[in-house]
Amino acid sequence: MNVYHRDIRQYIGKRSVVRVKAAVLVLNEHGELLLLKRQNRDVWGLPMGNLKPGEALEDTASRELWEETGLTADEMRLLELVSGPEYMKKHLGGDEEYYVIGLYEATGLRSAIQLSMDAEISLKFFNRENLPQMDKITIRLLDKANKAKEAP
């Protein structure tokens, strides 16, 4: 939890909060999906992070992509903006967070993935027919991305 969110919790206690996030869909030239796994978690997920005060959502997507993967993108295309009870996370301490998530697709990728960049994050491209165990929000976001790409 960063300082900003810790300070908010100090004032509101255990009440539910709304957080705005950006998630990034990254596919390599083989159509494989980039997922990450944090050291303290058992599941994989998309690169994703919180909007900072005053930041544009597209900039959040670009920043999170760089921070979590070492990649930059020429373009971030908004695929979906999602919210609702299915995008709620309940933490061990009982705190509830409801997310509004902008799902972006990164294109025109640059830089090489440096797997040793952050010892707390593992990065790997997966064939979309053989995905690992993922968190519930990532599963929902991938379903939304597939539907968005199928739409005319």
Q: Summarize pLDDT for 130-144 with one digit per residue, the tens.
A: 999 999 999 999 999
Is 96 among the domain residues? yes
Is 11 among the domain residues? no
With 90 as the cut, is the pLDDT of residue 38 above it?
no
Q: Which of 135, 125, 53, 41 is nearest to 88 (CA)?
A: 135
Tokens of 104: 């972006």
pLDDT at position 17, please? 87
Q: Which domain holds residue 72?
A: 16-142
Q: How many domains does the chain have?
A: 1
Is 1 among the domain residues? no
Is 53 among the domain residues? yes
With 80 as the cut, is the pLDDT of residue 60 above it?
yes
pLDDT at position 5, please? 62
Q: What percent of the chain has a predicted confidence (pLDDT) above 90?
A: 66
| Exposed e or buried b per residue across 76-114, where buried means at least 16 C-beta atoms within 10 angstroms of its C-beta | beebbebeeeebeeeeeeebebebebbbbbbeebeeeee
